[in-house]
Chain A
């Protein structure tokens, strides 16, 4: 997709995303091009996590959710995810990248997984505010918090 078009679609959904993050106490997002960073703290711990929402080709494809080293956003992967006891984790390989996923529609890993890749959805299913809702469920509803790394 054209980078300008992607940027305009992120622009369209940015304010609702920020509002959803605020309302759901997910954290305060910041944006670097088509990459969104959300510093967040799961319920039950004081540890800080950094959610990374990659929006390349948004919204033709769903945002990719990963977690990164809070001190170095370029260092991402499963070791940086919060392990919440009731969260429905799974995994998928995306372009050689071992990506943990939540088995809930709305993020790219779920929709690329062989169990779900044939399913058809409206793009509204993976709008950015949905990512905020998923982060809320992960951080505040699917606890208790266990440790860093999944």
Chain B
């Protein structure tokens, strides 16, 4: 029985897979609408998967003949993904009932998407990477179009599908070139092949560039961001919340593990590409957001900008940079979930509104929500005393220490521009004439808001634990 030790490494994935299929059976055979029940069970599954990672951390190692890798880095990334997915799932459920699209497949597709993300994070081979990525993407396309009677949601789904398929094509083309160079798809084998390669092999560089392009598509980094605003605006709001956290965390972790794993010997070649897309993302995320009138579109550009900042840490290509990215992702997770909880609370007489002007004078009508949103916006802008400041600080420090001072300076300038629109939201909430008050949001939404806003302050005051967690994850990744 040598198979059993390997299975303990994949416990979270097995839990999600078997659980999702069981949920599917319950949903099919139960006559009544079982969305709430299944959501509860799905959240439980994610909690169980997360608990298996925390309580009994799997020993570092590989499973399935080296296709699947587990270490502290993957565990940390998986935990963040599960957190994001679980919290988003709770918000999806309450929203689905008010909008009348509650169907039992909704939580199940979310679980499958999460499974795909975990598979991506643990991928140790290009085929495993692709299977995980495709599982995640396919589920996300379905989720984007889930509100199928809504024209904008279906448009979002189709757009996401077509552009996502294109990105998968780019990624596959790149990996086939890399395979042609190394003769293997395994990350370990490729790392050996790259280390012994003579510099300037054009084929493999083109392959790496295509792989980066495909992954940049999935994290919506400029210039591969075109789908993001439309999909974020068209998809149902809590599903947008899910899109903006869990897949980004998974795809950025994948970005780290691909570039700093098999492609690490080629750092001089890929660094310039990452520097470019990081700079473009930061700039475009800041500038294009200024003119937005719809808060979901604004969040789309904001997330593009945040991906840019996270990529600065990747451009540093050091353990410190990876630590910065992991810390950034953790803060980003709660920043975004909290903000989307506030957006979900934007309901006037039972009708969801999403224009920025609807926030006008919210500090009078809904002081609690306004307070939470203001804290989150300060954090997004990276203004102390909020954790968003520390997140930016760590990635920029890593960049400076890796002799990427121009990039760090550029990032600072971009975040100054970006601060404009975050602060404008606060100005609208606090200094403009009040409008219709929002309805009182339900309990779970209020909890998410309060918890994430307070975490922004807590992690500014006591970041040490999180930083050391992120550092050990980064060490597991780079092996230094």
Q: Do A and B come from one complex?
A: no
The residues of B with any CB-CB pair to A shorter than 8 Å are none
The residues of A with any CB-CB pair to B shorter than 8 Å are none
